[in-house]
Amino acid sequence: MENKKTRLYSISFSPWSEKARWALDHHRISYEEVEHYPFAGELRLRILLRKPTGRVTVPILDDRGALLTDSFDIARHADAVGAGPKLFPAGREAEVEAWNRRSETTLAALRAMMMLKFVDDPTFGRAALPRGTPEAIVPLLMPIGRGAMQLFVAKYRMRDGAEAHRAVAEEGLETLDKALAEGQKYLLGDTFSYADIAMALVLQVVSPVDKRFMPTGPGGRAGWSNPDLAERYARLVKWRDELYENHRRWV
Ligand X SMILES: N[C@@H](CCC(=O)N[C@@H](CS)C(=O)NCC(=O)O)C(=O)O
CB of 238 to ligand X, least distance (A): 25
CB of 70 to ligand X, least distance (A): 4
Q: Which of 170, 128, 98 is nearest to 38 (CA)?
A: 128
CA dihedral 34→36→41→43, nearest 10 degrees, is 70
If the CB atoms of residues 11 and 96 are measured against ligand X, the closer one turns out to be: 11
CB of 86 to ligand X, least distance (A): 20
If the CB atoms of residues 41 and 185 are measured against ligand X, the closer one turns out to be: 41
Q: Hey, how many other C-beta atoms are within 10 angstroms of the C-beta on 129?
A: 17
Chain centroid to CA 239: 17
Q: Using CA of residue 142, residue 148, residue 154, residue 158, what is the dihedral sign?
A: negative
If the CB atoms of residues 72 and 118 are measured against ligand X, the closer one turns out to be: 72
Q: Is the peptide bond before 59 cis (omega within 30 degrees of 0)?
A: yes
190: enclosing H helix or E strand: none
**Angular region, 5: left φ>0, alpha ψ -120 to 50, beta rest:** beta
If the CB atoms of residues 108 and 243 are measured against ligand X, the closer one turns out to be: 108
If the CB atoms of residues 14 and 193 are measured against ligand X, the closer one turns out to be: 14
Residues that bind ligand X (CB under 6 A): 11, 14, 16, 38, 42, 57-59, 70-72, 104, 155
CB of 60 to ligand X, least distance (A): 8
**Which alpha helices (H) appear in the chain, and where do they start and end?**
15-26, 42-49, 71-81, 93-120, 138-155, 164-179, 194-202, 220-224, 227-232, 234-247
CB of 10 to ligand X, least distance (A): 9
Strands 66-68 and 32-35: unpaired
CB of 246 to ligand X, least distance (A): 24
If the CB atoms of residues 130 and 189 are measured against ligand X, the closer one turns out to be: 130
